[in-house]
Amino acid sequence: MLSLFPSNDYLLIAVILGMPLLGAFVNGVWGKQLGKDAVRVMALTAVGLSFAASVAAFVALSQLADQQKGEHVKLVWNAWEWMNTNGGAGGVTVPIDVKFSIDALSGVMMLIVTGVGFLIHLYATSYMADDEGFARFFAYLNLFIFSMLVLLLGDNLPILFVGWEGVGLCSYLLIGFWYEHAPNAAAGKKAFIANRVGDFGLICGMFLLVHYTGALDWNGIANGASSLLHTGEQARVHVWPLGGGQYTGVLSFLQPKSPVTISAATAVGLALLLGCTGKSAQIPLYVWLPDAMAGPTPVSALIHAATMVTAGIYLICRLSFVFVLSPFVMVLIACVGAATALFAATIALVQNDIKKVLAYSTVSQLGFMFLGVGVGAFTAGFFHVFTHAFFKACLFLGAGSVIHAMHARIHDGDPSQDLRNMGGLRRWMPLTHWTFAGATAAIIGLPLTSGFFSKDEILYRAFVNRTVNPAAAALQGRVYAPPAWIGTALYATAVAAAVLTAFYMCRLYFLTFWGEFRGWTVGRPSLLSKHEVAAHDDHGHGEHHEDLSTPGHPPHESPWQMTVPLIILATFSVFAGWLNPGFGLSRQPMEHWLEPVFKEATEGAVVYAGGHDAAWAEHMTLPLALGGIGAFLVGTLLAWWMYVSQSGAPAKRAAEAQPALHRLLLDKWRIDELYDATVIAAVDSLAETAAAFDRAIVDGILARLTALVVAASGTVLRAFQSGVVHVYAAMMVVGLAATGWFFAVPHANATVVDSGNNDYLVTAAPGVGYAYRWDADSDGKPEKSDFGADSTLKLHLEPGRSQTVHLEVKNSFGLIRSKSIHVARPEEPTSSL
């Protein structure tokens, strides 16, 4: 396998990338003509072949890794040179190539994207079977797979950015897939714009990196990363005054006593973090992800749960060696993650839309991943990405299966996703139920499932890990040290979030699959006329129940294209945890596999809290695991008591006891309203100002006033257009006479040129038959009494003196005109400044 392609020119990457692109092109251009069967085959083949090639590449990579033990091995394909730029300390040339590479980190992500992507494609062939935009959907989905692979396999930041924007575009297109419905289009725009804010950060990070490290590819940045830490004040990034200037004059009150500076590492980290919060839906840019559920459910599963939203965590892992240089940014990442995990979980507690609950759950789980990478446990954070891809994709696809089943009874979109209309579905859809149960067990942290292992490792690392500046000695103590209690606070927040996770996921599971089915009264066929029943029953499941006393069609299990992906994903959700079980066990394949990627970054940067040693950390393993297990038990039992044994009565009582709080949670803390009132209002007023300027200045003065002047002069000039030929002829005669007069009289003009040595040369303008007479001192007595051909006069003037020259010009008709020319020489300059 390895011998087929050399590792430094690994052409198989072209197949991995090219197949989804081909699928997108074929389905996008000829999809309508090909028909649904051909589109289905094309889309599945494209992603399937890409997955097969990914597996082959992964096997080759693992063989290479075995050969070079402990080395950070890569399979590289340099497609072509893209452009060059300048950067770094010496202004070196920075090549930017279209270059792709597979290493341990991107290899795993590549397998997730193509593998889970293939399953979701298979699922979607059934889920979207009746949709009119079938071909368009698969074109977008294939394009997404391509863009995501570009993001993951890109060997430098600009290529990653191309993929980053590509997945953003596909996300936008797929959220607004049913664009006829206005809220869907608005949700797409919201996602696009929120991501642009993050992209601004990512671009700034790129600029800073190219300026300080002089490289944009992973190896180059790693080599130049040390130049991000400077001791000199001038070499640091000046935050205030921005760019290191000085405020003077009226602005001097803005000038601080000493300029506020941060190290370049912190600046880069903050900029990149902004980009990651946008893509990975963290505070403050998480608002787009819940709305993104307006897209079809397979899209929610693939893009907004399993793959694209983890791009931010991937980027932090990818550039871990940059992030660890700034402990402040690392702590900030961890805090953002923990806060998001808890915050989103509180919202998920009370939501009634099955996809909304899962959306906030995704935001919350992404927060856990941020927490993991923020405390320097890159493997733990990335392992949660890995397990989350399976269980959250399974949950979303299960929710899609439930919605599909509910559509048999309820044909309107929103009520068919409402938990209040579900219940007891395990009776009719056993496969969906059991797979959903498996994935739920994983996310709530049932011991020995994948989510338990990955989440527990994050909780554990949040407590025992601490990030320190690896170059602290060189920086002479100018390093940020996080407070000692931060580990405890992060651990407590994460445990609280885990309790809430267990509670809301069990609530979702119990409300959907347990109890009695509550959907009989919604869209009940007996309440509709027979005609409407025929028109609404576009699914055509079973016979029409014309007996008005029976409750109508029951919900039904989904076809095999939907259940097979569910089974596979649920299997992985339950068992994938054994790839990295933690707890000091000797077999940790994932950690071993990723070790070369993160070894460089974590060495010297990630230590044990409070100066403890590895023995202490090992000693803490079991006590800290109790937090995770306790969270699981508390949340699950509370949900069981509320929604199964008491059938939801305590939940109702709690909501009635605290109506304001319940309302606030239901309204998602009214963060959207807050953003409307602040950010969007500010942008709106800026737009209003610009529009007023446009109306008054551009339209009013530049356009209308100019037009008015032209129109007025046109009105005046039109009066001369009498249409009478004789008037024109008379005017012509007048004009001819004026021209004739101009040529008949002489014109006395002269130019004065400084010819050096205090001499001036006065030259009279030439003309046909002209003769000149000069009077240099204007005393009324010309030098020569006769007119002559001499058209120049030389004049000697000392500094500070001036003289008036009198010139007379005569032409052939004997007419004479004269002119006085004043010539002055300025004083010599006296100042030496």
CB nearer to another protein: pick between 657 and 716? 716
Q: Which helix (H) or strand (E) holds 752?
A: strand 750-756
The structure tokens 């998602």 sit at 668
Binding flag, residue 769, another protein (CB under 8 A): no
How far is it, in rounded angstroms, from Cα 735 to Cα 741?
A: 10
> Smallest distance from the beta carbon of 738 to another protein, in angstroms?
16
Measured CA to CA, the distance from residue 695 to residue 697 in angstroms comes to 6
DSSP E strands, 190-347: 237-240, 260-262
User: Residue 180: helix, strand or coil by DSSP?
Assistant: coil
Nearest approach in angstroms of CB 818 to another protein is 32
Characterise 259 by phi-psi region: left (phi > 0), alpha (psi -120 to 50), beta (else).
Answer: beta
Taking the complex as a whole, the smallest distance from the CB of residue 711 to another protein amounts, in Å, to 14
Dihedral angle sign, alpha carbons of residues 302, 307, 308, 310: positive
Nearer to another protein (CB atom), residue 660 or residue 724? 724
Nearer to another protein, 484 or 727 (CB): 727
Contact characters 718-737, another protein, x per CB under 8 A: xx-xxxxxx--xx--x----
Sequence-distant (6+) residues with CB within 8 A of 502 are 444, 445, 631, 632, 633, 634, 635, 636, 639
Using CA atoms, how far apart are residues 754 and 788, in angstroms rounded to an integer?
24
| Minimal distance, residue 719 CB to another protein, in Å | 8
Q: Which residues contact 96 (CB under 8 A, 6 or more apart)?
A: 82, 83, 84, 85, 156, 158, 216
Number of helical (H) and strand (E) elements in the chain, helices listed first: 29, 12
d(CA 189, CA 199): 15
Q: How far is the CB of 801 from another protein (least distance, A)?
A: 49
Shortest reach from residue 796's CB to another protein, in Å: 43
Kindly write out the interface string for residues 686-725 of this chain, putting x where it contacts another protein by CB under 8 A and - elsewhere: --------------------------------xx-xxxxx
User: Interface residues for another protein in 9-28 (CB under 8 A)?
Assistant: none
Q: In angstroms, what is the minimal distance from the CB of 718 to another protein?
A: 5
Which residue carries 């240089």 as its tokens?
325
To another protein, the closest distance from the beta carbon of 789 in angstroms equals 21
Closest distance between another protein and the C-beta of residue 707, in Å? 20
Place of tokens 């949670």: 665
Q: Is 476 or 721 the residue whose CB approaches another protein more closely? A: 721
Angle in degrees, CA 563, 152, 320, rounded to 5 = 120
Of 531 and 718, which CB lies nearer to another protein in the complex structure?
718
Beta carbon nearer to another protein, 477 or 714: 714
Tell me the C-alpha distance between 295 and 85, whole Å.
Answer: 39
Q: How far is CA 395 from the centre of its chain?
A: 26
Residue 771, strand partner residues: 810
Of residues 692 and 712, the one with the C-beta less far from another protein: 712
Tell me whether residue 660 or residue 716 sits nearer to another protein (CB atom): 716
Q: Sheet holding 771-775: strands in order across?
A: 771-775, 802-810, 816-824
Minimal distance, residue 733 CB to another protein, in Å: 7
CA distance 590 to 243: 43
User: Considering the complex, what minimum distance in angstroms separates the CB of residue 747 from another protein?
Assistant: 27
Residue 312: CB partners within 8 Å, gap ≥ 6? Answer: 275, 276, 277, 278, 279, 280, 282, 366, 370
Q: Closer to another protein by CB, 711 or 725: give it.
A: 725
Which 367-406 positions form the footprint of another protein (CB under 8 A)?
A: none
Q: How far is CA 129 from CA 123, 191, 407, 561, in A?
A: 10, 26, 14, 11
**Residue with smaller CB distance to another protein, 657 or 717:** 717
Q: Which residues touch 139 (CB under 8 Å, ≥6 apart)?
A: 23, 24, 25, 27, 28, 31
**Nearest residue (CB) to another protein, 674 versus 733:** 733
Choice between 69 and 726, CB closer to another protein: 726
The whole-angstrom separation of Cα 49 and Cα 51 is 5
CB of 731 to another protein, least distance (A): 11
**Minimum CB–partner distance for residue 737 and another protein (Å):** 11
Please identify, using beta-carbon distances, which residue of 585 and 733 lies nearer to another protein: 733
474 vs 734 by CB, closer to another protein: 734
Strands 237-240 and 75-87: unpaired
Kindly tell me the burial class for residue 678, based on how many C-beta atoms sit within 10 Å of its own C-beta (0-12, 13-18, 19 or more): exposed
Total residues contacting another protein (rule CB under 8 A)?
11
* Smallest distance from another protein to CB 815, Å: 21
Residues that bind another protein (CB under 8 A): 718-719, 721-726, 729-730, 733
